[in-house]
């Protein structure tokens, strides 16, 4: 599809597209945008509500939640009461353990999920064989896979990675399949009339055409990896943020529990932003093509 959009001619779509701004300018533009400002307001409103409900008014069951002030003090304390803060090595050890598991699981889910999704959309025979299996396994909750994975996969680290992988795997397959199905048949007919082989159609029509849907699936998948990771580390782990969330809850160290929960949220947000940025860069040809219309 990218080849077809940039066919030889006196003027090309990429020549008409606006030049890409350097990243410092893009960052300044984003910070000054209403989207960023509203995001800041939303976060401020959330933490203000937490402070008022828990610290000030102590309404209903909110009084049982950890104080915002105490949580922030514990997080920034060089000598934390429960042993974890931004100044302690153990905090980063657990972060690193969780990040490594998510990255490994996400890479496997991306490679296998995209490959299977492309094959299902490209070959009807493969779709007929794989789709019933996918629809049988996909609705099963990740927690239900835990006993099976623990029986089949040896060790402590491997089951965590496999369970985290499953959360992103099914999402990636379905979005890739949807991306292939969304490609206009005109592109296939044009490619075949130009003498493209089936391999060329896959590389230059199917893969570029499905990329927007693939990266939507990957953004969902990376988020799914994080919430699946927590359950996996609770069951099988001896380290990681999910493991510590459960441990701190069990020992009633609620401020530290919230610290790890918020850290998970920030890492999930950051990883989704990275996937989105990579997708935007890889799909720049699409913006150039639309800019030349």
Mean pLDDT, range 11-19, rounded to an integer? 41
Q: Per-residue confidence at 3, pLDDT binned at 50, 70, 90?
A: very low
Question: CA 233, 237, 238, 241: dihedral to nearest 10 degrees?
Answer: -20
Percent of the chain at pLDDT > 90 equals: 57
Which residues, at least 6 apart from 80, have a Cβ–Cβ distance to it below 8 Å? 74, 87, 88, 256
Q: What is the pLDDT of residues 74-105, one digit of tens each?
A: 999 999 999 999 999 999 999 999 999 999 99
Domain boundaries, the chain: 2-21+66-291, 33-65
Neighbour-count burial of 162, counting CB atoms closer than 10 A to its CB (0-12 exposed, 13-18 middle, 19+ buried): buried
Among candidate residues 166, 180, 165, 169, the one with its CA nearest the CA of residue 127: 180
Q: What is the pLDDT of residues 186-211, one digit of tens each?
A: 988 888 898 888 888 888 888 888 99
Residue 106 pLDDT: 96
Which residues, at least 6 apart from 82, have a Cβ–Cβ distance to it below 8 Å? 74, 248, 253, 255, 256
DSSP the chain: -HHHHT-SSSS-HHHHSPPPPPHHHHHHHHHTSHHHHHHHHHHHHHHHHHIIIIIIS--GGGGGSPPHHHHHHHHT-SS-SSS-STT-HHHHHHHHHHHHHHHHHHHHHHHHHHHHHHHHHH-HHHHHHHHHHHHHHTTS-HHHHHHHHHHHS-SSHHHHHHHHHHHHHHHHHHHHHHHHHTS-HHHHHHHHHTT--HHHHIIIIIHHHHHHHHHHHHHHHHHHHHHHHHHHHHHH-SSSHHHHHHHHHHTT-HHHHHHHHHHHHHHHHHHHHHHHHHHHHHTHHHHHHHHT-
Mean pLDDT, range 280-292, rounded to an integer? 62
Asked if the model's pLDDT at residue 290 lies above 70, the reply is no
**More confident position, 119 or 1:** 119
Q: What is the pLDDT of residues 127-149, one digit of tens each?
A: 999 999 999 999 999 889 989 99
Which residues, at least 6 apart from 14, have a Cβ–Cβ distance to it below 8 Å? 6, 285, 288, 289, 292
Q: Are 209 and 283 in contact (CB under 8 A)?
A: no
- pTM over cut 0.75: yes
- What fold is seen in the domain 2-21+66-291? MetI-like fold (1.10.3720)
């Amino acid at each position: 599809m990218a080849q077809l959009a940039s066919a030889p001619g006196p003027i090309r779509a990429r020549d008409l597209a606006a030049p890409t701004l350097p990243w410092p300018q893009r960052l300044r533009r984003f910070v000054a945008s209403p989207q960023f400002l509203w995001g800041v307001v939303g976060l401020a409103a959330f933490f203000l509500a937490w402070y008022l409900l828990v610290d000030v008014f102590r309404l209903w069951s909110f009084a049982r939640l950890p104080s915002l002030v105490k949580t922030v003090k514990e997080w920034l304390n060089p000598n934390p009461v429960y042993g974890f803060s931004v100044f302690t090595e153990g905090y980063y050890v657990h972060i690193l353990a969780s990040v490594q598991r998510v990255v490994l699981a996400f890479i496997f889910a991306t490679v296998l999920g995209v490959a299977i999704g492309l094959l299902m959309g490209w070959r009807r025979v493969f779709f007929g064989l794989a789709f019933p299996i996918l629809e049988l396994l996909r609705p099963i909750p990740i927690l239900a896979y835990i006993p099976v994975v623990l029986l089949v996969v040896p060790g402590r680290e491997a089951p965590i990675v496999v369970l985290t992988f499953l959360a992103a795997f099914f999402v990636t397959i379905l979005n890739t399949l949807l991306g292939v199905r969304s490609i206009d048949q005109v592109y296939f007919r044009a490619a075949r009339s130009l003498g493209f082989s089936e391999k060329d159609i896959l590389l230059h029509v199917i893969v570029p055409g499905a990329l927007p849907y693939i990266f939507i699936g990957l953004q969902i998948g990376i988020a799914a990896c994080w919430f699946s990771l927590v359950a996996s580390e609770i069951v099988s782990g001896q380290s990681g943020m999910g493991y510590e969330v459960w441990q701190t809850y069990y020992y009633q160290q609620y401020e530290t529990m919230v610290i790890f929960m918020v850290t998970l949220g920030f890492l999930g947000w950051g990883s989704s932003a990275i996937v989105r940025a990579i997708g935007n860069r890889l799909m720049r040809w699409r913006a150039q093509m639309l800019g030349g219309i």
